[in-house]
Amino acid sequence: MALSGIQIYKMLPQTNCKECGFPTCLAFAMKLAAKQVELSTCPYVSEASKAQLAESSAPPIRLVTLKGIGTEVKVGNEVCLFRHEKTFYNKTGLFVRVKSSQSDIAATVAKAEAFKVGYVGMDFSVDGFTVEADEPSKFADAVKAVRSASKRPLILISKDPAVLSAGLASLAGETPLLVGADASNWEALADLAKTSKAALAVSADSLEELAALTEKIKAKGVDDLVLIPGGKTMGESLAKSTQIRRLALKNFRALGFPILTFPGDAGSAMRESLFAAQAVTKYAGFVVLNEFNPELMYALLVLRENIYTDPQKPIQVTPGLYDINNPKPESPVLVTTNFSITYFSVANEVESSGLPARLLVVDADGMSVLTAWAAGKFDAERIAKAVKSFDIESKISKKRIVIPGHVAVLSGELEEELPGWEIRVGPREAVDLPAFMKQALN
Ligand code: SF4
**In terms of domains, do 277 and 296 share one?**
yes
Kindly state whether residues 376 and 237 are assigned to the same domain: no
On whether both 257 and 343 belong to a single domain, the answer is no
CA 437/CA 331 separation, integer angstroms: 10
Q: How far apart are CA 84 and CA 69, in angstroms?
A: 35
Neighbours of 48 (CB within 10 A): 9
Looking at the fold, whether 44 and 130 belong to one and the same domain comes out as no
Cα of 441 vs centre of ligand 1, distance in Å, is: 60
Probe residue for ligand 1, chosen from 11, 44, 45, 57 as the CB with the greatest number of ligand atoms within 8 Å: 44
Does ligand 1 lie within 6 Å of residue 44's CB atom? yes
Distance from Cα 39 to the centre of ligand 1, integer Å = 10
| Residue with CA closest to ligand 1 atom 8 | 25
Structural element, H or E, at residue 337: strand 333-337
411 lines ligand 1 (CB under 6 A): no
Q: Is position 282 within any domain?
A: yes
Instruction: List, in sequence order, every residue forming a beta bridge with 94; answer none if it has no partner.
Output: 287
Note down the domain range covering 360.
Answer: 320-440
Q: What is the pLDDT of residues 163-206, one digit of tens each?
A: 999 999 999 999 999 999 999 999 999 999 999 999 999 999 99
Q: 16, 37, 57: which to mutate for ligand 1, most atoms within 8 A of CB?
A: 16
Residues 211 and 283 in one domain: yes
Q: Are 284 and 208 in the same domain? A: yes
Q: What is the pLDDT of residues 121-130, one digit of tens each?
A: 789 999 999 9
CATH number at residue 134: 3.20.20.20
What is the tally of structural domains in the chain?
3
Rounded to the nearest angstrom, the distance between the alpha carbon of 312 and the centre of ligand 1 is 27
Ligand 1 centroid to Cα of residue 25, in Å, is: 5
Catalogue the long-range contacts made by 136-141 (C-beta closer than 8 Å, 24 or more residues apart).
136/100, 136/160, 136/163, 138/100, 138/101, 139/100, 139/163, 139/166, 139/167, 140/166, 140/167, 140/169, 140/170, 141/100
* Alpha-carbon distances of 375 from 310, 317, 366, rounded to whole Å: 20, 19, 12
Q: What is the CATH number of the domain that holds 329?
A: 3.40.50.11600
Please give the pLDDT value at position 1.
56
Residue nearest ligand 1's atom 7 by CA: 25
User: Do 373 and 405 form a contact (C-beta atoms < 8 A)?
Assistant: no
Regarding whether 375 and 242 lie in a shared domain, the answer is no
User: Looking at residue 276, what is its pLDDT?
Assistant: 97
**CB distance 89 to ligand 1 below 6 Å:** no
- Among 273, 307, 341, identify where a domain stops: 307
Is the beta carbon of 350 within 6 A of some atom in ligand 1? no
- Ligand 1 pocket residue status of 46, Cβ below 6 Å: no
Residue 390 lies inside a defined structural domain of this protein: yes
Ranges of residues in the chain with a pLDDT under 50 are none
124 & 207 share domain: yes
- The answer to whether residue 212 sits within a structural domain is yes
Q: Of 249, 279, 307, at which residue does a domain stop?
A: 307
Q: Supply the DSSP symbol for 21.
A: S
Do 260 and 394 lie in one domain? The reply is no
Residues 231, 260 share a domain: yes
| Same domain assignment for residues 93 and 47 | no
Instruction: Report H helices in 150-224.
Output: 161-168, 186-196, 207-219
Q: Residue 91: its pLDDT value, please? A: 97
**Between the CA of residue 247 and those of 2, 48, 211, 252, 344, what are the distances in Å?**
13, 28, 11, 5, 40
9: CA distance to ligand 1 center in Å?
Answer: 10
- Name the pTM for this structure: 0.80
- The one-letter code for the residue type at 4 is S
Nearest CA to ligand 1 atom 6: 20
Task: For residues 341 and 419, state if they share a domain.
Answer: yes
